Amino acid sequence: MKSFVYISAGFLSLVSSTEAYRPSRPNDLDFTQAQAEAHNCGLVCQQNLRQYEVLDRQVFGDVPFDYEFYETAANFSHSRPGDMLKLRQQNASAYDIPPGTSLWTMQYTSVGVNGTNVPATAFIALPYTKVPEHKTPLVAYAHGTIGVVSACAASSSYNGFDYHSWQLLTGPGYAVVATDYAGLGNNYTSHKYGNPVLNSEDTYFSVVAARKAFPGAFTDKWAAVGHSQGAGTVWGLSENPRVVSKESGDYLGGVSIAPSSRLNDILTAVPLNVGWGFGNEVVNIFQALKFPIQPIVLTPEALKRYPLMYELQLCDTSQAELNADLPNHGIVDFTPSITQHNHEAYIAFQNKYGAATGRKGYKELLVIQAIDDEVINVNATKAAYEDACKIGNIVHLSLYPGLDHDSSVAASSPEWLEWLDNKFTGVATRDSHKCVMETRSVLLDTSR
């Protein structure tokens, strides 16, 4: 294995002068006025793009995008799901990660639409020490929304797209494997956004591949933690029949924080004319799948701009603001007939690709939900919990007063870190055989 492991951060600055110019990242904007105008993006729109692209860039920092790493591996074509295709040790000092942690990027084979093999990438963060006589416990982390085009790879971010999230796992000594999800990083296939079924395949096979990358290093037991898009993923993972096979080891269960499990419930509770930042991404959900029913989301003006998300490789913040200057942020007027049509599309999608829509759950799930979450409405999560429990799945739902969508991860970490610890050490947890919903109390009520 050692022979192909090398430090690759920094190499891209040495691009030879004969090679065509490539920006340090594919989402470095260098659009021309003509290109923007060809997509109905006038001067105000161009100003917005420049302004919000700066915010997107902050998510990735100064680490150059390793184009060569993200290219499909030569041996992908005859590989099998869970095969490791590329492994690189990154220069940890160039990243903002907890001291002592080593950082690796990995390309591996996953499963996409209709059971086809697809390449995916991930990063692996390893703790410095190991406990004598013990293997290192392994957690798969599934990140929240970062964007839907290939430039938006969490593994290409200076801190692995940490927002007081996956890095909390390094203190207690977990090894973390964090998938980018297929289509983010590598561009063999388009990303399938907000898709608990397919995103859970990427998470599952990241674990199988991580074991091949570091044979014998990890405990047979593993667990998953995810936020938002990744929480839908972890819910999907608990219903993915693969977790009962031994191929990945012994899957203990997962933690799902602010889950995007059921699209129709989420978009009914917070419609797109309120949560307009998701307009382009919801279009992507259906277009990338060539789904038989396409919802009506964007106005004709906004639809003309939609291809810019791909051409300019816009990640979450700049795609969200692409239509900031259009009336109603480019979201259509939801007449009763459009609303009805969209519900049909959302329900058909969530039945096929969602979670908590009637499938058996194989492993325990801890769901965490902030009552004031502005993105994932608490009532949508309660409905998902109730439906899952009704068919006999074991779900624990913890509700947290206050907190917004992003702060719920770190604020609830005492609970989910304890839950993980109990799972790995085999401590029986209270009510592990039944569904429980409870509201956690806060130390200081600062709302008064």
Ligand X SMILES: *[C@@H]1O[C@H](CO)[C@@H](O)[C@H](O)[C@H]1NC(C)=O
Q: Please report, as ranges, the residues that interact with ligand X according to CB under 6 A.
A: 4, 7, 10, 67, 70-71, 73, 75, 79, 83-85, 91, 93-94, 113-114, 187, 269, 289-290, 377-379
Least distance CB 212 / ligand X (angstroms):
7
Minimum distance of ligand X from residue 131's CB (angstroms): 28
Nearer to ligand X, 88 or 329 (CB): 88
The number of angstroms, rounded, from the C-alpha of 149 to the middle of its chain's C-alpha atoms is 12
Question: Which residues pair with residue 253 across a beta bridge?
Answer: 364
**Looking at beta carbons only, is 350 or 369 nearer to ligand X?**
369
Smallest separation (angstroms) from ligand X to the CB of 85: 5
Rounded (10°) CA dihedral 170, 104, 73, 249: -40
Minimal distance in Å, beta carbon 74 to ligand X?
A: 7
Q: Is the Cα torsion angle 92, 94, 145, 208 positive or negative in sign?
A: negative
Q: Comparing C-alpha atoms, which of 271, 18, 278, 234 is closest to residue 139? A: 234
Q: Smaller CB distance to ligand X: residue 146 or 225?
A: 146
What is the smallest separation between the CB atom of 107 and ligand X, expressed in angstroms?
9
Euclidean distance between CA atoms 258 and 3, whole angstroms: 42
Nearer to ligand X, 47 or 75 (CB): 75
State the minimum distance, in angstroms, from the CB of residue 71 to ligand X.
4
Cβ at position 92, least distance to ligand X in Å: 8
Instruction: Please report the DSSP string for 28-40 in residue order.
Output: S----HHHHHTTT
Q: What share of the chain is helix, strand, coil (3-state, %, to 5)?
A: 40, 15, 45
Q: Are 143 and 230 in contact (CB under 8 A)?
A: yes
* Cβ-based nearer residue to ligand X, 349 or 424: 349
Q: Rounded to the nearest whole angstrom, what is the least distance from the CB of residue 400 to ligand X in the complex?
A: 13
The residues, any chain, with a CB within 8 Å of residue 231's CB and separated by 6 or more, are 142, 144, 256, 257, 258, 259, 260, 261, 367, 376
**Token pair in block for residue 331:** 């979201």
Of 118 and 394, nearer to ligand X (C-beta) is 118
DSSP state of 347: H
**Residue number, 70 or 222, with CB nearest to ligand X:** 70
Output the smallest distance, CB 19 to ligand X, in A.
12
Sign of CA dihedral 278, 284, 289, 291: positive
By beta-carbon proximity to ligand X, the closer residue of 113 and 410 is 113
For ligand X, give the closer residue by CB, 71 or 386. 71
Coil vs helix vs strand at 285:
helix
Q: How far apart are CA 188 and CA 207, in angstroms?
A: 21
Burial 250-286 (b: 16+ CB within 10 A, else e): ebbbbbbbbbbbbbbbbbbbbebeebbbbbbbbbbbb
